[in-house]
């Protein structure tokens, strides 16, 4: 099953490699990983998407908790939560009908065209990762020049939150 | 107080009460070595190879109740020490390893003797640090000591670039008595509800067995374990790491369990209805085939490391906490309720166990013209009154040591259980002797293992360590040979130890006493003579039967009740 785990970790050199190293050493799989400092500069927040049986995910959370740099973690999959991912995608856009079609698609998916050249558009799109996949599918024959995705981020709904 | 980084480091070690450091100098730790030279409070032991420094600190830690301290230089100093660090990590031994690093300005430039110490030691240490400023040395070392000794103990590496210990850069220093880290709060006390559930389950058992591990030794819980076992009057078996946690000569002790465990211990595991795992981690050498492990048992598991619980075997009542603290609470609860197990059921259980015991699964040939390795260990046990500190290397001799030296006290048996490191025995024995001057220390080894750290005979001579080296010399990598005999059609691929040195002359050339023993009748006399030499290291080269195998044995993929038995044991 797919699990999305949020981790508060000391914002120190090597913290990321401790997490990545744990996954490779124990043969766990990382589907995506995104990390950045929080409002408290001494802490980073990491969102990690992994897959495994209940037993494996239990071991993953225990092993993560055991890392000395990990301050706190939460398996978001255990409760209601919001998940978002951002994508920047560069597509070929030369003739006007192609350009219109891309603009329409971007609007439907509530994306923004953030860069325009004579031959290309860059579209910024945010949403659940399934929505981003669907957008790519919808592009059909339009040639994709580049795709950048940040990996999923998540936050619990309502009162529940992951903080110190 | 303004001090240089090197001064702070040495002062900190003094303030922490460190008495002994095992190390080897080199370029990036020269400032530190210069400070060590100027003082007399801390004894520095100069080993002959950095691996031995870590093993010696490990042996010191296991038998002193203090943590071991290692000091090595950057690059090869670190990579040599890695085997020792990984050994301590697998066996949860408290250790702080201080490593030199190239100056901060050249880190990452492939400088001379540069290696990514933090990267290399990350997966084999509890935690590690790179100190980039002299002002951070004291607090980082404090964290390292705290991490190494609390929770599930382990080695912590502190990597210090040379410029950070520069004698010309002075910064303020004051000793911190305590430290707290927001991301690290090991649990000591067990959950009261879980403890109650565990006690209820144990009291309802008909065929209970205690499976005790190294956590009992590390937590100092031998007395509590002994008490609760006696109060309940139930059988107890131990892992390799747990030996000595319960007196081996006692009736309630079933011997070691697992791959080379006793028949009675493994059968009791297979047939039990309640298993009480205490400070043990269900290692594959213990469980055998996991699907057939304790098929009828409800399992209680007490461990300080939550990640050890339900890692390989799903348990019914997990208790996270310090073993000694949890056992004390369980005892209190048992006493206050005054309940006991059903005496009729328990009597039947003991009768069954005594029947298994009658197989005499450790029997061996006493009439052989060749020295049986088991006989040497048995005699060693007799002659030392069962009270020596024993270190081992890895292989057949290690198993015979575990089976035939009956440990009555904790921290007497020092062996590389998790990593299985050949070369561990001799340097570990050095550490033991430093921690216990005047005590009898013996290293049970083989001609294969001993050669992996043989250079330490020189260290032993420098510090006049009167170790007794019991070399069970069968001219084979015995355990490899045994597996090749059983599972590879007796094709002894590269397990014969050809071109062995004359160990007697080798010992003598290092300044020690060497003895060559090839007749069973001479074993006892040689051991007595060796232990009478109180101030000399004696290397006893016992020429043993090459064909001897370790029994019982659970082959890979087999369950506890599927043991290969010794031809000498009584089948029932």
What secondary structure does DSSP assign to B337-400, as a single string?
Answer: H-----HHHHHHHHHHHHHHHTT-TT---SS-SSBPHHHHHHHHHHHTTT-SEEEE-SSHHHHH
Measured between CB atoms, does B306 come within 8 Å of chain A?
A: yes
Whether the bond between B18 and the residue before it is cis, its omega within 30 degrees of 0, is no
Which segments of chain A does DSSP mark as H helices, in order? 15-25, 54-66, 96-108, 129-138
**Given this model, what pLDDT does residue B181 score?**
96
Token look-up 């100027």 returns B38
Reported as half-sphere exposure (CB side, CA atoms, 13 A), residue A121 has a value of 23
CB contact under 8 A, B184 and A68: yes
Query: CA A130 to CA B259: how far, in whole Å?
Result: 50
Inter-axis angle of helices B76-90 and B50-64, nearest 10: 30
- Which conformational region is residue B526 in: left (phi greater than 0), alpha (psi within -120 to 50 degrees), or beta? alpha
Query: CA A122 to CA A106: how far, in whole Å?
Result: 10
CB contact under 8 A, B122 and A70: no
CB contact under 8 A, B122 and A17: yes
Q: Exposed (0-12), middle (13-18) or buried (19+): which is B106, by Cβ within 10 Å? A: middle
Q: Which residue, among A15, A62, A67, would best test binding to B if mutated, counting the most B CBs under 10 Å from its CB?
A: A62
Query: CA B59 to CA A22: how far, in whole Å?
Result: 28
Query: CA B243 to CA A111: how far, in whole Å?
Result: 66
Q: How far is B473 from chain A (nearest CA, A)?
A: 37
CB contact under 8 A, B307 and A25: no
Q: How far is A155 from chain B (nearest CA, A)?
A: 21
CB contact under 8 A, B310 and A58: yes
Nearest chain B residue to A26 by CA distance is: B123
What number is the average pLDDT over the span B28-55?
98
Nearest to A88 by CA among A143, A132, A147, A131: A147
What number is the average pLDDT over the span B14-28?
98
CB contact under 8 A, B306 and A62: yes
pLDDT per residue as tens digits for the range B184-214: 999 999 999 999 999 999 999 999 999 999 9
DSSP symbols for B267-308: HHHHH-SEEEEES----HHHHSSGGGSSTT-EEEEEES-GGG
pLDDT per residue as tens digits for the range A74-117: 999 999 999 999 999 999 999 999 999 999 999 999 999 999 99
Question: Residue B328 is inside which H or E element, if any?
Answer: helix B323-337
Nearest to B68 by CA among B95, B107, B41, B105: B95
Query: CA B275 to CA B558: how far, in whole Å?
Result: 19
Measured in whole angstroms, how far is the alpha carbon of residue B383 from the centre of its chain?
Answer: 23
Query: CA B382 to CA B527: how far, in whole Å?
Result: 10
Q: Which residues, at least 6 apart from B205, have a Cβ–Cβ distance to it below 8 Å?
A: B234, B272, B273, B274, B341
Nearest neighbour of B118 by CB, restricted to A14, A58, A59: A14
Measured in whole angstroms, how far is the alpha carbon of residue B237 from the centre of its chain?
Answer: 17
Q: How far is A71 from chain B (nearest CA, A)?
A: 4
3-state secondary structure of A74: strand
- Which conformational region is residue B310 in: left (phi greater than 0), alpha (psi within -120 to 50 degrees), or beta? left
Strand order from edge to edge, sheet including B317-320: B253-256, B236-238, B208-212, B274-278, B298-303, B317-320
Nearest neighbour of A69 by CB, restricted to B119, B183, B305: B183
Query: CA A126 to CA B320: how far, in whole Å?
Result: 42
Q: How far is A45 from chain B (nearest CA, A)?
A: 14
pLDDT band at B494 (very low <50, low <70, confident <90, very high): very high
Q: How far is A17 from chain B (nearest CA, A)?
A: 9
What number is the average pLDDT over the span A21-29?
94
Nearest chain B residue to A21 by CA distance is: B123
How many other β-carbons are positioned within 10 Å of the β-carbon of residue A116? 11
Query: CA B175 to CA B346: how far, in whole Å?
Result: 55
Reply yes or no on whether the pLDDT at B572 is more than 60: no
Measured between beta carbons, the chain B residues lying within 8 angstroms of A65 are 306-307
pLDDT band at B571 (very low <50, low <70, confident <90, very high): low
Q: How far is B82 from chain A (nearest CA, A)?
A: 17
Q: A49 with A32: CB under 8 angstroms?
A: yes
**Given this model, what pLDDT does residue B66 score?**
97
pLDDT above 90 covers a percentage of chain B that reads 97
Query: CA B74 to CA B115: how far, in whole Å?
Result: 7
Between β-strands B2-4 and B170-172, what pairing exists: parallel, antiparallel or unpaired? antiparallel
Tokens of B410: 């904790």
Rounded to two decimals, the ipTM of the complex is: 0.92
Q: How far apart are the first and last CA of chain B?
A: 74
CB contact under 8 A, A18 and B122: yes
Q: Which residue, among A65, A68, A162, would best test binding to B if mutated, counting the most B CBs under 10 Å from its CB?
A: A68
Nearest neighbour of B183 by CB, restricted to A13, A17, A71: A71
CB contact under 8 A, A62 and B126: no
pLDDT band at B312 (very low <50, low <70, confident <90, very high): very high
What is the Cα gyration radius of chain A? 19
Reply yes or no on whether the pLDDT at B90 is more than 80: yes
Query: CA B373 to CA B371: how far, in whole Å?
Result: 6
Q: Which residues are bridge partners to B72 per DSSP?
A: B99
Q: Is the dihedral of CA B252, B253, B257, B260 positive or negative?
A: negative
Query: CA B210 to CA B231: how far, in whole Å?
Result: 13
pTM given for the model = 0.96
What number is the average pLDDT over the span B153-167?
98
Measured between beta carbons, the chain B residues lying within 8 angstroms of A59 are 307, 311
Q: How far apart are the first and last CA of chain A?
A: 28
Query: CA B214 to CA B209: how far, in whole Å?
Result: 17
Measured between CB atoms, does B46 come within 8 Å of chain A?
A: no
Q: Which residues of A touch B (CB under 8 A)?
A: 9-10, 13-14, 17-18, 21, 25, 55, 58-59, 62-63, 65-66, 68-71, 164
What number is the average pLDDT over the span A52-68?
95
CB contact under 8 A, B127 and A164: no
Between β-strands B441-446 and A2-10, what pairing exists: parallel, antiparallel or unpaired? unpaired
Measured between CB atoms, does B130 come within 8 Å of chain A?
A: yes
pLDDT band at B498 (very low <50, low <70, confident <90, very high): confident
Q: Which of residues 166-225 of B touch A (CB under 8 A)?
A: 181-184
Q: How far is A84 from chain B (nearest CA, A)?
A: 27
Q: Report the C-alpha dihedral over residues B1, B6, B12, B14, rounded to 10 degrees.
A: -110
Measured between beta carbons, the chain A residues lying within 8 angstroms of B130 are 13-14
Size of interface A-B (CB pairs under 8 A): 38
CB contact under 8 A, B147 and A25: no
pLDDT band at A52 (very low <50, low <70, confident <90, very high): very high
Mean pLDDT of chain B: 97
CB contact under 8 A, B123 and A17: no
Catalytic residues of B: 50, 112-113, 162, 479
Q: B9 with B140: CB under 8 angstroms?
A: no
How many other β-carbons are positioned within 10 Å of the β-carbon of residue B289? 15
Q: How far is A82 from chain B (nearest CA, A)?
A: 26
What is the Cα gyration radius of chain B? 24
pLDDT per residue as tens digits for the range A140-158: 999 999 999 999 999 999 9
pLDDT per residue as tens digits for the range B332-386: 999 998 889 999 999 999 999 999 999 999 999 999 999 999 999 999 999 999 9
CB contact under 8 A, A63 and B307: yes
3-state secondary structure of A81: strand
Between β-strands B538-543 and B513-517, what pairing exists: parallel, antiparallel or unpaired? parallel
Measured between beta carbons, the chain A residues lying within 8 angstroms of B304 are none
Measured between beta carbons, the chain B residues lying within 8 angstroms of A62 are 306-307, 309
Query: CA B346 to CA B268: how far, in whole Å?
Result: 13
Nearest to B141 by CA among B3, B278, B16: B16
Mean pLDDT of chain A: 95
What number is the average pLDDT over the span B113-123?
97
pLDDT band at B556 (very low <50, low <70, confident <90, very high): confident
């Amino acid at each position: 099953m797919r699990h999305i785990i949020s981790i508060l970790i000391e914002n120190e050199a090597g913290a990321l490699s401790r997490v990545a190293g744990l996954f490779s050493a124990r043969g766990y799989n990382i589907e995506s990983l995104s990390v950045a400092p929080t409002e408290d500069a001494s802490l980073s927040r990491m969102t990690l998407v992994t897959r495994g049986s209940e037993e494996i995910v239990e071991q993953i959370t225990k092993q993560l908790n055991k890392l000395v740099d990990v301050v706190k973690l939460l398996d978001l999959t255990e409760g209601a939560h919001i998940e978002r991912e951002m994508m920047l995608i560069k597509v070929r856009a030369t003739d006007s009908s192609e350009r219109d079609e891309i603009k329409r698609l971007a609007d439907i998916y509530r994306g923004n065209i953030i860069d325009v050249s004579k031959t290309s558009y860059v579209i910024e799109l945010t949403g659940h990762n399934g929505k981003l996949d669907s957008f790519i599918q919808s592009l059909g024959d339009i040639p994709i020049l580049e795709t950048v995705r940040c990996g999923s981020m998540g936050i619990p709904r309502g009162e529940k939150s992951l903080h110190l | 107080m303004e001090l240089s980084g090197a001064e702070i480091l040495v002062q900190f070690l003094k303030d922490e009460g460190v008495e002994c450091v095992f190390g080897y100098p080199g370029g990036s730790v020269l400032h530190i070595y210069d400070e060590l030279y100027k003082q007399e409070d801390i004894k520095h032991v100069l080993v002959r190879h950095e691996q031995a420094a870590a093993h010696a600190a490990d042996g010191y830690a296991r038998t002193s109740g203090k943590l071991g301290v290692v000091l090595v230089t950057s690059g090869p100093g670190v990579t040599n020490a890695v085997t020792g660090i990984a050994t301590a990590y697998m066996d949860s031994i408290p250790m702080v390893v201080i490593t030199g690093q190239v100056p901060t300005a050249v880190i990452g430039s492939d400088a001379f003797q540069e290696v990514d110490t933090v990267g290399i030691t990350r997966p084999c240490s509890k935690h590690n640090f790179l100190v980039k400023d002299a002002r951070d040395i004291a607090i980082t070392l404090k964290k390292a000591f705290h991490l190494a000794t609390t929770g599930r103990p382990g080695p912590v590496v502190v990597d210090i670039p040379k410029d950070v210990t520069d004698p010309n850069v002075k910064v303020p220093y004051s000793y911190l008595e305590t430290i707290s880290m927001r991301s690290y709060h090991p649990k000591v006390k067990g959950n009261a509800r879980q403890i109650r559930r565990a006690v209820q389950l144990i009291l309802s058992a008909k065929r209970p067995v205690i499976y005790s591990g190294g956590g009992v030794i590390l937590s100092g819980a031998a007395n509590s374990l002994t008490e609760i076992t006696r109060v309940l009057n139930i059988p107890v078996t131990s892992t390799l790491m747990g030996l000595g946690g319960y007196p081996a000569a006692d009736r309630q002790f079933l011997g070691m369990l697992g791959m080379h465990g006793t028949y009675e211990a493994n059968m009791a595991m297979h047939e039990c209805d309640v298993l009480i795992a205490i400070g043990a981690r269900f290692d594959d050498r213990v469980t055998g085939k996991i699907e057939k492990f304790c098929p009828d048992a409800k399992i209680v598991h007490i461990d300080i490391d939550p990640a050890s619980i339900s890692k390989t075997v799903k348990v019914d009542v997990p208790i996270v906490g310090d073993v000694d603290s949890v056992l004390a609470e369980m005892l209190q609860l048992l006493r206050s309720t005054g309940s006991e197990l059903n005496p009729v059921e328990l009597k039947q259980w003991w009768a069954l166990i005594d029947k298994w015991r009658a197989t005499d699964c450790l029997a061996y040939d006493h009439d052989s013209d060749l020295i049986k390795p088991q006989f040497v260990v048995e005699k060693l046990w007799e002659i030392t009154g069962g009270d020596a500190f024993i270190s081992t290397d890895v292989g057949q001799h290690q198993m015979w040591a575990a089976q035939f030296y009956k440990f009555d006290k904790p921290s007497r048996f020092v062996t590389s259980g998790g990593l299985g490191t050949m070369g561990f025995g001799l340097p570990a024995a050095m550490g033991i002797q430093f921690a216990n001057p005047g005590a009898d220390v013996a290293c049970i080894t083989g001609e294969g293992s001993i050669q992996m750290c043989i250079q330490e005979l020189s260290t032993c001579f420098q510090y006049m360590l009167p170790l007794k080296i019991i070399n069970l010399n069968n001219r084979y990598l015995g355990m490899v040979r045994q597996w090749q005999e059983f599972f590879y059609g007796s094709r002894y691929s590269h397990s014969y130890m050809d071109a062995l040195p004359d160990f007697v002359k080798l010992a003598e050339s290092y300044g020690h006493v060497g003895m060559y023993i090839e007749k069973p009748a001479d074993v006892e006399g040689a051991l007595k003579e060796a232990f009478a030499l109180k101030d000399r290291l004696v290397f006893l080269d016992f020429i043993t039967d090459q064909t001897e195998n370790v029994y019982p044995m659970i082959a890979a993929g087999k369950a506890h009740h599927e043991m290969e038995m010794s031809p000498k044991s009584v089948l029932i």
